[in-house]
Structure 1
Amino acid sequence: MESAASVSALFLEESIQAFHSMKKLADRAMAQLGEEQFHVTLDDESNSLEIMILHMHGNMLSRWTDFLTADGEKPSRDRDGEFEAKGLGREKLLELWEEGWCTLFRALEGLTPGDTTRNVTIRGEAHTVVKAIQRQVSHYGYHVGQIVFLSKHLASNHWQTLSIPRGQSRQFKP
């Protein structure tokens, strides 16, 4: 039977892998788009890639900076402002994107298996480290799905699949 420490180490390793996988999907999707496409919305209630990047960046900095010692909702965060278009260029948006992910990975890679049962707070609510990480896996997975969907829509006929192309599943069976 595995020890709690090895299960915790595996959890951290698998979580880091999941975040890397998400980031890679979004990176590959956004790489297929031009500068102007980062500002397109499908309708008045939809978010552009710019807005999704701003939101994820703000969330990542807030959640992962001083992860173990400060509330995950930092007083300096302007969440509402994350949903306001700024007209930032692709290069700046991708800088923010990378900064957010670097903050996340630095925090996760600094954790030890013993940290997984510690408590952290998000908006004053206590979460175990495991719960806080799972909360963000779910949240970022949701937004990465939106990024991939919007990127695929905008790339249209020029889209290059991020997984197994349609009609080719049999080639990938063991």
Structure 2
Amino acid sequence: MLGLFSPIKKQNKPVMKKIFLLVALVVSFHITVTAQRDNNDSPQPAARSIYGEIGGPGILSLNYDQRFKGQKGLGFRVGAGGIGFLTSGVFAIPVGLNYLSGRNGHYLELGAGASAITITDGEDFFENNSSTVFGYLNFGYRYQPEKNGFTGRVFVSPLITGAGVFPFYGGISFGFKF
């Protein structure tokens, strides 16, 4: 086993210093270019949208989504939904973080979150109910215009529950960006 790591110990220290300096130079150049580009960009307001979702962690839900700044990058979602009839059904509250990468209104969406679920089967909502929380991931496509207007999403959303992972779950949503 020691023979596996022995070539590392025999490397020439000046070569390692050169590699380290090269990596440090590339990283500092990247940081400088990014900082200059960010200073020249005019600040954009955070993109916000409201959408209805069929499938996904809210089952059948209404959601609010917002970027922390700008039109893409890191953001969050929160919603309420479920499905049921009169006194029995499922109520869900999905919350999560997501990241948008792309341009011109076409984005790859990646995210993760949790959904609180209450299942009820009784004469009223508070009778014979049980609650749980499950995790979810989100991989999908989002159309979100640069200005206000229609937004849509198609996604796969694996569910992570106490009973296991359900990888082939997903949904579709339509809404309005403002």
Using structure 2 for the length normalisation, give the TM-score.
0.21
> Of the two, which has the highest radius of gyration?
2
Greater share of helix: 1
Higher relative contact order (CA 8 A, sep 6+): 1
Using structure 1 for the length normalisation, give the TM-score.
0.21
